[in-house]
Amino acid sequence: MSKHKNELALCAILFLTPTYTTLHLSTPSTTNVMAFHFIFCLFAPILFVPLFPYLRNLFKSNRRRPPLPPGTLGWPYIGETFHLYSKNPNIFFASKQQRYGSIFKTHILGCPCVMISSPEAAKFVLLTKSHVFHPAFPASKERMLGKQAIFFSRGQYHAKLRKLVLRAFMPHAFKSYIPNFESIAQHFLHSSEGILVTTFHEMKTYTFNVALLSIFGKDRVVYSEDLKRWYYVLEKGYNSMPIDLPGTLFNKSMKARKEIARIVEKIMSTRRKMKADWNDLLESFMSDEEGLTDEQITDNIIGVIFAARDTTASVLTWIIKYLEENPGVLQAVTEEQEAIMRGKEEQKLSWEDTKKMPITSRVIQETLRVASILSFTFREAIEDVEYDGYLIPKGWKVLPLFRNIHHSPDIFPDPEKFDPSRFEVAPKPNTFMPFGNGTHSCPGNELAKLEMMVLLHHLTTKYRWHVVGSNSGIQYDPFAVPQNGLPIRLFRK
């Protein structure tokens, strides 16, 4: 198309130039020449105005276009998806980075992508140029979580959703939930005593219950089993190709999604008939003055369950693994937690207590770094962008690789070593992004830290545990978790 336009522009120039030259070079009288000059100067701009876009394209196309980043695109449509998910995605990223450097191209989940793995590039995409890099996840993820979910939204709609989510997830809103978090944690630990449990599975139950409590408040009690059942089906399709045919994982996920939507609608219709304060995320969504549609609310509830449950459960699973492997660190955390309860009449945690856990906080930070359970996120270039001498073409996905940054030896020396003391000094800006960066950074990070602290308090002060079987290896479920979900036995001290 643009080639065609350029040809047209060239033809126009070639057509006009000889006409003028021919007229000018004949032997006319001086008056005629002057008259011609006058007429040409008068009409030339008018003639050139419609041609301007063509001329601009012509000159543009002659300008040097920067090259695409190095890398390979794999098979048509499938690209390198199987390479990415068949083994360990981190091996895929690390080997690509080793081969091509901190910016390279690939093709996954049906999309051409540019992957970036330096703090400067992550800042460029997520902060400085966030207006040209829009959140855009592969179609399977968008359709499963809901097109109108906060992750995929932009502009005013995104700002509104963020305000509503933050209203429910700021500490002043959920600190009153601490006793509920404690009873969920205690119940789960008590029911796991002495038996062989899969840590990730149990942690998912804990974080699911905490998520439902912060979304549905008291209403969660009635619906939690149904929500849990359907959500387990939904999540199975998260990394699937978006092929909606009977029997495919994606198809089953979409059906489960409809069931969850039905439950959310039921809860909303009951609430609309009552007048009460719920103090939860659903209330925040329902009380918006401009009004969110039921579909928008459902998309965002499913989105928040997804964002809240597996992420936090997988981080907790890694913490339990690292504490077992590092007895000195476990000892320090246990002493810190025991000191909080010493001399207290009521053995209950308060919001102020959670501010007295610096060692536990550093263990959480170091786990977020080493495990980097969200290895990357997705953005899409809405126009051609040049970065570091390479072209990121319009429509391509851009993936900042958080894990590669967190494992860079230049930023975190001896990066594979679990060493919480490295966080005694605050990390440099844009080098530590477990909760993302910029306008789409995680609004649930405070809630996640609080629920992890509550669980670690009860676990370290009342229990000891050992890992059963081999504890090396990683699996993706969809976030990184220790092999087999870390089977453990838990004993009361």
100 contributes a contact to ligand HEM by CB under 6 A: no
Q: What single string gives the DSSP state of each residue in 34-55?
A: HHHHHHHHHHHHHHHTTTHHHH
Encoded tokens for 177: 């939930």
399 contributes a contact to ligand HEM by CB under 6 A: no
Rounded to a whole number of angstroms, the minimum distance from the CB of residue 298 to ligand HEM is 14
**Which CB, 213 or 254, lies closer to ligand HEM?**
213
Q: Could you tell me which residues are beta bridge partners of residue 380?
A: 134, 397
441 contributes a contact to ligand HEM by CB under 6 A: yes
442 known member of a binding site: yes
Tell me how crowded residue 427 is: count the other CB atoms within 10 A of its CB.
16
Residue 273 main-chain phi, psi, to 5 deg: -85, -10
Q: Choose which of 311, 326, 354, 367 interacts with ligand HEM (CB under 6 A).
A: 311
Q: Choose which of 5, 143, 162, 167 interacts with ligand HEM (CB under 6 A).
A: 162
Which residues, other chains included, contact 462 with Cβ-Cβ below 8 Å and sequence gap of 6+?
A: 189, 492, 493
**Which CB, 210 or 256, lies closer to ligand HEM?**
210
**Which CB, 38 or 157, lies closer to ligand HEM?**
157
Q: Choose which of 79, 242, 420, 443 interacts with ligand HEM (CB under 6 A).
A: 443
**Which CB, 257 or 440, lies closer to ligand HEM?**
440
Helix (H) or strand (E) holding 229: helix 220-235
Amino acid at 218: K
Q: Choose which of 119, 217, 237, 434 interacts with ligand HEM (CB under 6 A).
A: 434
Do 298 and 265 touch, CB atoms closer than 8 A?
yes
Helix (H, G, I), strand (E, B) or coil at 69: coil
175 contributes a contact to ligand HEM by CB under 6 A: no
365 contributes a contact to ligand HEM by CB under 6 A: no
Helix (H) or strand (E) holding 390: strand 390-392
Do 269 and 172 touch, CB atoms closer than 8 A?
no
Q: Choose which of 315, 330, 401, 455 interacts with ligand HEM (CB under 6 A).
A: 315
Encoded tokens for 208: 């699911």
Cis peptide before 135 (omega within 30 of 0): no
Q: Which stretch binds ligand HEM (CB under 6 A): 74-82, 175-183, 409-417, 444-452?
A: 444-452
Q: Could you tell me which residues are beta bridge partners of residue 400?
A: 116
The closest residue (CB) to ligand HEM is: 444
Rounded to a whole number of angstroms, the minimum distance from the CB of residue 109 to ligand HEM is 15
Q: Which stretch binds ligand HEM (CB under 6 A): 30-38, 176-184, 408-416, 439-447?
A: 439-447
Do 491 and 464 touch, CB atoms closer than 8 A?
yes
Q: Choose which of 164, 308, 323, 401 interacts with ligand HEM (CB under 6 A).
A: 308
Which residues, other chains included, contact 392 with Cβ-Cβ below 8 Å and sequence gap of 6+?
A: 69, 114, 381, 384, 385, 386, 398
169 contributes a contact to ligand HEM by CB under 6 A: yes
Rounded to a whole number of angstroms, the minimum distance from the CB of residue 319 to ligand HEM is 10
Would you call 8 exposed, middle or buried from its count of C-beta atoms within 10 A (0-12, 13-18, 19+)? Answer: middle
Rounded to a whole number of angstroms, the minimum distance from the CB of residue 4 to ligand HEM is 39
Pick out residues in 266-305 that bind ligand HEM (CB under 6 A): 304
Helix (H, G, I), strand (E, B) or coil at 380: strand
Report how far apart, in Å, the C-alpha atoms of 473 and of each of 83, 483, 485 are.
Answer: 18, 5, 10
**Which CB, 297 or 447, lies closer to ligand HEM?**
447
Q: Choose which of 115, 165, 227, 286 interacts with ligand HEM (CB under 6 A).
A: 165
Rounded to a whole number of angstroms, the minimum distance from the CB of residue 443 to ligand HEM is 5
Q: Which stretch binds ligand HEM (CB under 6 A): 218-226, 307-315, 326-334, 454-462?
A: 307-315
Centroid of chain to Cα 182: 28
Encoded tokens for 262: 């039905």
| Residue window 125-154: x/- pattern of binding to ligand HEM, with contact defined by CB under 6 A | ----------x--------------xx---
Pick out residues in 20-39 that bind ligand HEM (CB under 6 A): none
Pick out residues in 179-238 that bind ligand HEM (CB under 6 A): 211, 214
The C-alpha angle with vertex 349 and arms to 345 and 351, in degrees rounded to 5, equals 125
Do 420 and 359 touch, CB atoms closer than 8 A?
yes
Do 287 and 271 touch, CB atoms closer than 8 A?
no
d(CA 22, CA 488): 92
Annotated binding site for heme: 442
Task: Catalog residues that contact ligand HEM under the rule CB under 6 A.
Answer: 135, 150-151, 162, 165, 169, 211, 214, 304, 307-308, 311-312, 315, 373-374, 377, 434-436, 440-444, 447-448
